[in-house]
Amino acid sequence: MYPEKFRKSIEAVEAAREKNIAYEPARMTAKEKEDLLAAFHPDYRKEEFTELKIGPNKGEKVPHELAAMLQAKSRIKASDVDLTKPDYDVDVLVIGGGGAGSSAAIEAHEAGANVMIVTKLRIGDANTMMAEGGIQAADKPNDSPATHFVDAFGGGHFAAKRELLSKLVCDAPEAIQWLNNLGVEFDKDENGVMVTTHGGGTSRKRMHAAKDYSGAEIMRTLRDEVLNRGIPVVDFTAAIELILDDKGNAAGAVLMNMETEALLVARAKTVVIATGGAGRMHYQGFPTSNHYGATADGLVLGYRVGAKLLYADTLQYHPTGAAYPAQIFGALVTEKVRSLGAKLINCDGEVFMHPLETRDVSAASIIRECNARGKGIDFEEAHGVWLDTPMIEKIGGEGTIERRIPAMMRMFGKFGIDIRKEPILIYPTLHYQNGGLDINVNGMTTNVQNLFVAGEAVGGIHGRNRLMGNSLLDIIVFGRNAGQNAAATYRNVELGKLTLDHIAAFEAERAAAGIDSDEVSPKLLPNYTGNTSGI
Ligand code: MEZ
């Protein structure tokens, strides 16, 4: 239920609805996009970034909050654990129990490796679970991986590592079949053909979905597969430091029981970091669509042993986070809502942009509408612009919302907002880290041997902006890839003596750079105590 004072603006949206449905807003030119991003996208706010003083990316800019974690102290000293008596001894250690970690574990297991998953929460507590709108794959007759590549490369500002993006799009059709065979219930028509839609920046309809809970459906299936195979999952246990051997290669991790804080040692011939994203870092004070554990842990673990980061200065703000009511502030309002026809409308009932521009451009455009043009809804309770969901029913026919985006209908329905009849208020929300650890096409970090990375902790697959549905795709393609390659690698690994010498070396670097903060990392969980801002 909206407060009475929102009414006047809602009436303006209603009055203009028919006209706005018919109106086809122009796409922005490349120059218009560039200028818009420079002026309004949060990645361009210089004061929100700082130069790293130590580590492999010394001199590069990252958000203040990330710099604090990357340059923080370890949670332990080397003498806190006995590396000669490992609690676990495996071929492949997967850190993270989301979609990427599960896919890696399944493939490593399939290849005969002794694999174990360790996760600080439970298997499935991950951004995968939160993904709604779908997963891209060019598997229709009018589409091709080459077209998919062109869309994603342009959408990412031509910055993606070509070989990674190429693998992503070429392996996509097979990834969909793999998921389908595992039991993912994709939306299909009466002939059993998968239904696909557009996303922002896609030139073909290639978004495969399970209604608007695609990630939950994929995660459910992967989790079942992990458990059915009997792959050990050590939950509520965080990796807090990587272990190297005396050759400088990855050789396991120090683990911490989240309840008792007891330390454990996992020795491994290969390690896969699949720790996910960073929304709970709340960069620049933004709310987030991410799950509770998204605190950039993998980036910290990798960085401290010398693994390089790529594009850690670029984040994705999903254009449509829920802005009202407060209980769901920042929650994801899937891009599929716009794919199905809903347009973004300002407080005067005007369409101010094409609804399917790429995400960075859409977010910047919404921020401009609210902050520079004074055309946002701006009340004490909330600010943002309208997403005119009733358009969907008018375009697709009665029942479209319930059939295609039932979770969205339910989320708002709980607060007395019937999205079939009333628009919803949205504002950008922190959604995805475009940057992460730098890998080669085998999924191994470019400079630490036997250390693999998959999923949102990787940088460079999407360049400086990711298109919708390419993240669910990358967790599958690069999760499987990491698992397969870790399994192929471990057979030739002869582990040397395990060491945590890098902790003291990092501490010395901190001291030499004059860093004396007492903060420790990885962060593991957000700290909301004493925070009055609501995030
Ligand atoms: O890829 C995503 O981030 C995604 C599918 C999100 C969404 O809008 O549903």
- Indicate the angle between helix axes 162-182 and 145-155, nearest 10 degrees: 120
Cβ of residue 290 lying under 6 Å from some atom of ligand 1: no
Instruction: Write down the pLDDT at residue 530.
Output: 60
The answer, yes or no, to whether residue 435 has pLDDT greater than 70, is yes
What value does the mean pLDDT take over residues 226-243? 98
Give me the chain's average pLDDT, please.
97
Question: pLDDT tens digits, residue range 457-473?
Answer: 999 999 999 999 999 99
The answer, yes or no, to whether residue 531 has pLDDT greater than 90, is no
Cβ of residue 474 lying under 6 Å from some atom of ligand 1: no
What value does the mean pLDDT take over residues 12-23? 98
Alpha-carbon distance 113 to 100, whole Å? 17
d(CA 483, ligand 1 centre) in Å? 24
The answer, yes or no, to whether residue 535 has pLDDT greater than 70, is no
DSSP β-ladder status, 88-95 and 315-322: unpaired
Look up 338 and say whether it is catalytic: yes
Instruction: Write down the pLDDT at residue 287.
Output: 97
Cβ of residue 468 lying under 6 Å from some atom of ligand 1: yes
Question: pLDDT tens digits, residue range 286-338?
Answer: 999 999 999 999 999 999 999 999 999 999 999 999 999 999 999 999 999 99
491-507 CB burial, b ≥16 within 10 A, e <16: eebebeebbbebbeebe
Ligand 1, pocket-test mutation among 168, 206, 335, most atoms within 8 A of CB? 335
d(CA 131, ligand 1 centre) in Å? 5
d(CA 508, ligand 1 centre) in Å? 42
Question: pLDDT tens digits, residue range 276-285?
Answer: 999 999 999 9
Q: Which of 291, 318, 404, 510 is catalytic?
A: 318
What value does the mean pLDDT take over residues 361-388? 96
Instruction: Write down the pLDDT at residue 381.
Output: 87
Ligand 1, pocket-test mutation among 129, 132, 336, 465, most atoms within 8 A of CB? 132
Instruction: Write down the pLDDT at residue 532.
Output: 46
Question: pLDDT tens digits, residue range 71-128?
Answer: 999 999 999 999 999 999 999 999 999 999 999 999 999 999 999 999 999 999 999 9
Q: Could you give the count of Cα atoms lying within 13 Å of 108 in the half-sphere of its Cβ?
A: 35
Cβ of residue 134 lying under 6 Å from some atom of ligand 1: yes
Instruction: Write down the pLDDT at residue 149.
Output: 98
What value does the mean pLDDT take over residues 155-169? 98
By percentage, how much of the chain surpasses pLDDT 70? 99
Closest atom of ligand 1 to 135 CA is 5
Q: Which of 208, 267, 338, 359 is catalytic?
A: 338
For every residue of 69-127, DSSP letters joined together read HHTSEESS-GGGS-TTS-SEEEEEEEE--SHHHHHHHHHHHHTT--EEEE-SS-TT-SH
Look up 318 and say whether it is catalytic: yes
Whether the model pTM is above 0.95: yes
d(CA 477, ligand 1 centre) in Å? 17
The answer, yes or no, to whether residue 50 has pLDDT greater than 80, is yes
Cβ of residue 131 lying under 6 Å from some atom of ligand 1: yes
Instruction: Write down the pLDDT at residue 534.
Output: 42
